[in-house]
Amino acid sequence: MTEADEHAVPDYPTLLRLDGRGFVVIGAGQGIGRQTAHALASVGARVFCVDLEPERAARVAREVGGLPCSGDARERPAVERMIAEATQALGRIHGIVDIVGMARFADFLDIRDEDWDWAFDMVLRHAYLAAQVGGRAMTASGGGVLVFVASVSGLSAAPRHAAYGAAKAALVALVKSLAVELGPRGVRANAVAPGVVWTPRVSASLGEEGRKRNSANTPLGRVGRPADIAGAILFLVSDLSSYLTGQTLVVDGGVGQKFPYPPV
């Protein structure tokens, strides 16, 4: 005899709400970071907007009714100050979203030591600091959630992406370790791995021809928008994903699922 399903049905729309919760967005000044700040604020979160450029942090904070902060997220004293100021301003940090990252591309045989070190500094060091300093704050106050922006370059290979891809792969591995170590203390950790996203920086680098080429290569027929990634981040920080940790969610329009047959 089959037992009756007596599990309560949750009010699913409310699981997306973040009313009154405090979030730190590192790299909030433009692109994915700006859209993430807006996404969080739209469902009731209080947003602490961090950017290297004070003007950008202030502008986005005004847009979302949040609080601005500037500093270099690769420096421990700066991150400790950010988390302390966020804790004081928000009362409690419920989540940290780290979107910082830049890339330099070169043939592997031409990569210089300083370029290799730069890639890991720009991709990984700030994530380590945000997770450690922010993780201490969240475990001390009842738990929370960490979300990082990785890349499809950390999951598969592309020419001239060796340093960037290796650093992003390390970030994916870090997320898994954070999930295992911090999960018992109430902190979830996940990542989003975007494909080509048309941020201001990417637009300036690739131009209109680059947009057309990447759109044609994507099963969904377009490049990603910053809001596409912000939507995935919103899911990962919300209670809709309360049983999800240690994962990297690929948001690439289906590019990674294509077998690269040569053009007919």
How much is the CA Rg of the chain, to the nearest whole Å? 19
Distance CA 187, CA 197 (A): 28
Q: Residue 128 catalytic?
A: no
Six token digits for residue 116: 């290799």
CB 245 within 8 A of CB 179: yes
Distance CA 156, CA 138 (A): 32
Given the residues 12, 128, 164, 243, select the one marked as catalytic: 164
Buried b (16+ CB within 10 A) or exposed e, 177-213: ebbeebeeeebbbbbbbbbbbbbeebeeebeeeebee
Tell me the residue ranges of DSSP E strands in the chain. 22-26, 46-51, 67-70, 95-98, 144-149, 187-194, 248-251
Q: Which sequence positions are flagged as catalytic?
A: 164
